[in-house]
Amino acid sequence: MSPQLKIAALVSVGRNPASGAPRAARNDVLALDAALALAPQVSVLHAGDAAPALHDYLAYGAASVEVLPLPPEADALAPLAARVAGYDLILCGQRAEAGQGSGTLPYRLAKALNLPVVSAALELTVLGDAVEIVQFLPKGQRRVVRVSLPAVIALHPLAPRAPRYVYASLRAGCVRSAPAPLAPPSPPSPWRSEPAVKKPQKLKAPETRQGHARMLGAIATESKGGALVREGAAAEKARAILDYLRANRLIGF
């Protein structure tokens, strides 16, 4: 651990999946916790509004949270890049819980600053002017990578850290807005947002036959059962469907 290391932790406002209540994004809390483990002084930066949920980061150990004002829908890249230029280590979560949550910020930030980027970091150790990272790979695999400082590192949501929520530190800290943006915000992203459409669910009659009968059915070439209703009025056809649904208990009325 080198004392003169300049570390920035980028934090966002998350949302609870059950209630939708704004909160500290879990992944960003891990990034903050990892940063505080490396250096006592960490610049905690948030691009956007000074939302009350940012106070949670104070409880998780940030001495203060610096807000870089940003119009809604604007891209945070340019102001963040201008602010963290010159830092040794820039830590963030992999993906935001709210907003676009595209997960591209660490990459774009690294590209803008011309720095190496490592994603899915579980543990990090600073070794002189390099940092060694245990990286998450699927199926329990891990990989150790080493990058030279400065670097952008995105923490994996499963990073084995136990951040502590301390009310006294929330009370002691402060959220302050940077006076003026260092750089004009990047133009809004060209992405278009639209409400999600719930996909219709196919009702499937539960299988009632025993195993042997099912096996025979699977190899049979004739019709799998059911009836084809071609003739008759619309009401009769609807009646046939309703009867089928009721017979198979696919509807409860």
Partner 1 sequence: MHSLEHLVTLLFWLAVAALAFGTMRRARLWRAGAAAPFSWAQLLTVPRRYLVDVHHVVARDPYIARTHMLVAGGAVAAVALMALNYGLMLYSPLLNGAIVLAAAVMLGGSYLVWQRRRAPLARLSAGPWNRLPYTLAAFALGLLALGLLPAALLSGFFAAVIMLALLAGTAELVLGIGTGGPMKHAVAGVLHLAFHPRAERFAARSTALRPLDLAAPVLGVEKPTDFRWNQLLGFDACVQCGKCEAACPAFAAGQPLNPKKFIQDMVLGLASGSDAQFTGSPYPGITLGGHAGAPEQPILPALLAPETLWSCTTCRACVEECPMQIEHVDAIIDLRRFQTLERGALPGKAPEMLGNLRETATQGGYDNAARYHWAVDLNLRQIKPGESVDVLLVAGEGAFDMRYQRSLRALVKLLQAAGVDFAILGALETDTGDTARRLGDEATFQAQATRLIATLSSVKFGRILTADPHVFHSLRNEYPALGGRYTVLHHTVFLAGLVSAGQLKLGATGETRPITYHDPCYLGRYNGETEAPRALLRQIGVNLTEMERSGLRGRCCGGGGGAPLTDIPGAQRIPDIRIADARATGASLVAVACPGCTAMLEGVVGPRPEVIDVAELLAAALEVQP
Which residues in this chain contact partner 1 in the complex, by CB under 8 A? 16, 18-19, 21, 23, 59, 164-168, 171
Shortest distance, position 194 Cβ to partner 1, whole Å: 24
Q: Residue 28 class from Cβ within 10 Å (0-12 exposed, 13-18 middle, 19+ buried)?
A: buried
- Nearer to partner 1 by C-beta: 167 or 191? 167
Who contacts 90 (Cβ-Cβ below 8 Å, separation ≥6)? Answer: 7, 8, 10, 84, 109, 115, 150, 151, 152, 153
Helix (H, G, I), strand (E, B) or coil at 234: helix
Please state the closest distance from residue 23 (CB atom) to partner 1, in A: 5
If you ran DSSP here, which 8-state letter would residue 73 be given?
T
Using the minimum distance from each CB to partner 1, give the nearer residue, 132 or 165.
165
Q: What is the smallest separation between the CB atom of 153 and partner 1, expressed in angstroms?
A: 25
SS3 206: coil
- As measured in angstroms, the least distance from the Cβ of 53 to partner 1 is 9
- Show the CA angle centred on residue 27, arms to residues 22 and 29, nearest 5°: 75
We find the least distance from the C-beta atom of residue 159 to partner 1, in angstroms, to be 16
* Residue with smaller CB distance to partner 1, 158 or 229: 158
Which of residues 148 and 165 has its CB atom nearest to partner 1 in the complex?
165
Nearer to partner 1, 18 or 218 (CB): 18
Enter the DSSP assignment of 53.
Answer: G
Locus of tokens 């006592």? 40
